[in-house]
Amino acid sequence: MSKIFHPHPWLLALLGALLLSGGWAPWPTAWLVPLLFIGWVPYLLLERTLTRQNARKRRVFALTYLFLVLWNALTTWWVSYAEPTAGAAAVVLNALLMCLPLMAFRQTKKRLGNRWGYLSLPVYWIAFEQLHLTWDLTWPWLTLGNGFAAAPQWVQWYEYTGFLGGSVWVWAVNLLAFFLITPTLFNTNGEAVRAPDNQNRPTKLAWLVPLLAVALPLLASYVIGANYQEKGPTEEVVVVQPNIDPYTEKFEGGTHFISNDEQLTRLLTLSAQHLTPRTRLVLWPETALEEAVWENTIESQPKIQRIRAWLAQHPGVALLTGLTTIGSYPDADNASATARYRDDLGYYDIYNAAGYFASATAPLAIYRKSRLVPGVEKIPPILSSILKNINLGGFVGSYGSQAGRTVFAAPANAPALRLAPSICYESIYGDFTAEYAAGGATLLGLVTNDAWWHDSPGYRQLLRYGGLRCIETRRDLARSANTGFTGFLNQKGEIAQLEPAWVPTASRALVHLNNETTFYARHGEYLGRGTQGLALVLLSLTVFNWKRRPPLATV
Give the per-residue pLDDT at 544: 85
Exposed, middle or buried: residue 315 (CB in 10 Å: 0-12, 13-18, 19+)?
A: exposed
Parallel, antiparallel, or unpaired for β 192-194 and 419-423? unpaired
Give the per-residue pLDDT at 75: 94
What percent of the chain is modeled with pLDDT above 90? 71
Q: What is the pLDDT of residues 201-216, one digit of tens each?
A: 667 677 888 999 999 9
Instruction: Give Cα 488 to chain centroid, integer Å.
Output: 18
Q: Which amino acid is at 179?
A: F
Q: Whole-angstrom Cα distance, residue 321 to residue 22?
A: 35
Torsion on CA atoms 303, 308, 312, 313, rounded to nearest 10 = 20
pLDDT at 40 over 50: yes
The mean pLDDT of the chain is 89
Average pLDDT over residues 5-30: 88
Give the per-residue pLDDT at 529: 97
Q: Whole-angstrom Cα distance, residue 473 to residue 515?
A: 10
Kindly indicate the confidence band of residue 30, based on its pLDDT and cuts at 50, 70 and 90: very high
Return the beta strands (E) in 383-476 as ranges.
Answer: 419-423, 443-448
